Amino acid sequence: MPQSQLPYQHTHRESGIYHTIDAIISPQDQLNILSKAEVAKLLDVSQSGLYRLFRSCALAVLNCGNSLDDGKELMERYPNFAIRIIQEERGIKLDVKGAPASAFVDGKMIRGISEHLFAVLRDVIFASSDERLRHVLQSAAPEDTTDAVFHMLRNADIIRPKVDPNVVVCWGGHSISMGEYDYTKKVGYQMGLRGLDICTGCGPGAMKGPMKGATIGHAKQRLGVGRYIGITEPGIIAAEAPNPIVNELAIMPDIEKRLEAFVRAGHGIVVFPGGAGTAEEILYLLGILLHPDNRELPFPLVFTGPASAADYFRQIDQFISATLGPEAQQKYQIIIDNPEAVAHAMVAGIASVRAFRKNTDDAYYFNWQLKISPDFQQPFAPTHENMRSLQLSRDLDNHQLAANLRRAFSGIVAGNVKEEGIRAIEAHGLFKISGEQCIMQPVDELLKAFQAQGRMKLPGSHYSPCYEIV
């Protein structure tokens, strides 16, 4: 076979101290046909940053497995990385230059990483080229936002009709201890033994462990290949690059649509220890469940960790009690150091979900009945002005206060790991967050606890707070 027809070509070189490889990659099944207009739009650097978005997401996927959760540092580490589309009569290929060598084995790209690379291309192209989707993405109507989430999940082949509810969403930190990581695997294993599939933010730590455990549970039960669904978004992908266990990947346009995708596609949620990002997810879900229209909808929610995490969840519970009150505390249960009990709770809770949706003629594959208000759907830009202007007051209804608290934690995540947020902090100083003392004191105490426990950055990474409580 002539060298030019080989699916992989590679050369080793140095980028500072980081080994890189050049390669030409052919798709497996994800995507092999693009129009000339789509290719031209993607590679035109003058087209509203589309190529830059594709390049940054692609580099994050290729950096999988490396201990780095700083989008700005990742781009600086591989300044010569480039990716372009080769369009041929029979389909497309990707030509990558200066890719992290860790994405390859014996010169060939790891298949799971290759699949994720083409999933990035698929979702970036779909979000920018589908006229109907572009219209609803620009709409402020709640039903249009939900419609956009549905179409992106369907385009990624995550919507599966005629399948009984069995998807458990697992949330938790990318920066957790080895003991906590091992516990997430044990919980995933118990859920896998019971035929439950796993959906996470697709990164390392508490997002990888449940998938890894579930693969063993599925294998022992001879269930074939399970579903390991990863849902991410461009701003966070560098911090939480998809781990190769993920076999269904969707990249949503922003964090709000990512969070809505979790609660629409999942049938129950397990929360492991984490940091500011996990607190954001908890506040998002509790805010939705506290909405009056959702009070009768079954939605199993379990907080869990090993014995060493008991104090962590006690802090979370106290924070929720102090800010959102007893009604919010009734929406979840805390199970410590008991993976089997977590799996039993999910099986029982999902059975209630199935019965409810069957009785109300709702789809098993997408939670259409869940009411999500615009406060939780509209993208929040974590600028210094927006962070300073957040209303954190007892005058708000509980679900509205949860929405604003969620935005505060979202801004902290942005300033902590997202390239755009990090650059904003460097240019303008710390975010200033203010509100009533009875709310800000629990917020401050929780964030200080996260810092003391090393939950704000990966182990070994330097952490400087990006915020100031006023």
As a whole number of angstroms, the distance between CA 47 and CA 66 comes to 31
Do 95 and 158 fall within a single domain? no
pLDDT given for residue 209 in this prediction: 96
pLDDT given for residue 46 in this prediction: 59
Q: What is the pLDDT of residues 154-198, one digit of tens each?
A: 989 999 998 999 999 999 988 788 999 999 999 999 999 999 999
Q: What is the pLDDT of residues 357-388, one digit of tens each?
A: 999 999 999 999 999 999 899 888 889 999 99
Mean pLDDT of the chain: 86
Q: Does some domain include residue 69?
A: yes
Q: Tell me, what CATH number does 375's domain have?
A: 3.40.50.450
The total of other beta-carbon atoms located within 10 Å of residue 437's CB is 8
Q: Does some domain include residue 140?
A: no
Do 374 and 430 fall within a single domain? yes
pLDDT given for residue 457 in this prediction: 64
| Higher per-residue confidence, 379 vs 265 | 265
Residue 124 has pLDDT above 50, yes or no: yes
Q: Does some domain include residue 404?
A: yes
With helix as H, strand as E and coil as C, how does 40-76 read? HHHHCCCCCCHHHHHHHHHHHHHCCCCCCCCHHHHHH
User: Using DSSP, how many helices (H) and how many strands (E) does the chain show?
Assistant: 18, 15
Do 329 and 409 fall within a single domain? yes
Do 55 and 162 fall within a single domain? no
Share of residues in the chain with pLDDT > 70 (%): 87
Residues of the domain holding 57:
3-129
Q: Does some domain include residue 136?
A: no
Q: Does some domain include residue 406?
A: yes
Q: Does some domain include residue 47?
A: yes
| Confidence category of residue 217, pLDDT binned at 50, 70, 90 | very high
Do 152 and 89 fall within a single domain? no
Do 102 and 158 fall within a single domain? no
Residue 32 has pLDDT above 60, yes or no: no
Do 82 and 15 fall within a single domain? yes
- Residue 378 tokens, joined: 């509209």
Q: Which of 415, 120, 433 is nearest to 252 (CA)?
A: 120
Do 253 and 339 fall within a single domain? yes
- Domain count along the chain: 2
Residue 387: DSSP 8-state: H
- Full-model pTM: 0.86
Residue 412 has pLDDT above 70, yes or no: yes
Do 170 and 201 fall within a single domain? yes
| Higher per-residue confidence, 313 vs 3 | 313
Do 59 and 103 fall within a single domain? yes
Q: Does some domain include residue 182?
A: yes
Do 54 and 84 fall within a single domain? yes
Q: What is the pLDDT of residues 415-437, one digit of tens each?
A: 887 778 888 899 999 999 999 99
Q: Does some domain include residue 433?
A: yes
- Residue 90 tokens, joined: 């029979």
Which whole-number Å values give the CA distances from 349 to 168, 190, 345, 392, in the listed order?
A: 10, 15, 6, 33
Do 201 and 348 fall within a single domain? yes
As a whole number of angstroms, the distance between CA 247 and CA 242 comes to 10
- 16-48 in b/e form (b: 16+ CB < 10 A) is eeeebbbbbbbbeebbeebeeebbebbeeeeee
Q: Tell me, what CATH number does 90's domain have?
A: 3.30.1850.10
